[in-house]
Structure 1
Amino acid sequence: MSNYVDALHREDFVPRISAAQRRSDFVNAAVEVIATYGIEGATTRRIADQAQANLAMLHYCYDSKEELFADVYEYVAGRYRDVIKDSEPHSDLADTARQILRGAMEFYLESPSFAAATLELISWARRQHGDRGIAVYDQALESVRAALRGAAADHPVEPETIDQIAYVIATLADGFAMNWLTYGDRSAATEQMAIAESVLQSWLVVRVGSTSGTV
């Protein structure tokens, strides 16, 4: 107990940081550690070290690693929502679909740790918790579908078509992420982004027709 109190006291010698900020730091640190060491290697010690905090502070903010990982899942889902929101041009369905795909691939390209951690988290969650792994993916897909529905408001399309476009975007983005993480070749990845966009564009022309001058 004295070691725990001493460790907390040592935190007093650094500028005061709110508990909310500390929790955010630990979540971001967990993403980096999971990307590097996988779920099994994501110990609380490594996460605390990555966050440049002591272990006692992590346990002060989180009662268990399970509780910390719950926040990590919410962070992952939130980042996908942000990427999709930032990618929406609100012009038409086809352009919105392309921009979402481009935004997702650019985010993966610039955030390889996030991409690696996300794939690891979803795979692990499906093995351990079932529904949680599905929920993370479902939330990301629903964000895509919502953006597509908004873009198609003036020219409504069938819900099945929205589902299909969201699926194609997810498949292309996930395939891009896997290739980028496997080879780490930025030049090749940039070319593959263009290929993925052309595949989506060709599919959109066949499935929904030309909805803008750029298709």
Structure 2
Amino acid sequence: MNLLSAGLSGFALGGSLIVAIGAQNAFILRQGLIRAHVFVLCFICALSDALLIAAGVGGLGTLVSSSPVLIAVVTLAGAAFLATYSAMAFRRAIKPGAMVAGAPEGMPLKAAVLACLAFTFLNPHVYLDTVLLLGSLSAAFEGPERVAYGAGAAIASFVWFFGLGYGARLLAPLFARPAAWRVLDVVIGLVMGLLAIGLLVSFLHGG
């Protein structure tokens, strides 16, 4: 029963941290809507979270938190990437052409994978959430319970990303109209632009 309780605790906390409007989720939502490379991208996101959670539960959080240079590099790189993708989203929103569910413009698998990895690992908050926060809270558990806690948090990531990626197609009728894609890309552009600004402000104010 203690293992189940620890696992549920990890699942609840992990789920609460990833269910938010962010760059990674917006990217998976859009890929799910166009039904492009959904399984691969969802698996990459979930597996990346699982690896970071395992690292945090294993004690990597202390190392990361003690390296301000590493945090600064990731923050600046993340801000630049988010700003670029924000501009791309606004550019798509301006172009009215053929943005219909199932057959919009997409990107090759390699480009999609690289973008997915960038959204994941160039986001400083992913380290704060998975490595530092989840990792530090795992100290409340010992032995098998700690493993169950980490597994629960990792499972939450798999459930969320695959649910988001494949559940997005339920919105396909709405996105049969080009106007809906314009709205989505404007929202994505705003979210990523604001995140980029937030990272820069955080860096300039020393975190």
Greater relative contact order: 1 or 2 (C-alpha under 8 angstroms, separation 6 or more)?
2
Normalised to the residue count of structure 2, the TM-score between the two structures is: 0.34
Normalised to the residue count of structure 1, the TM-score between the two structures is: 0.33
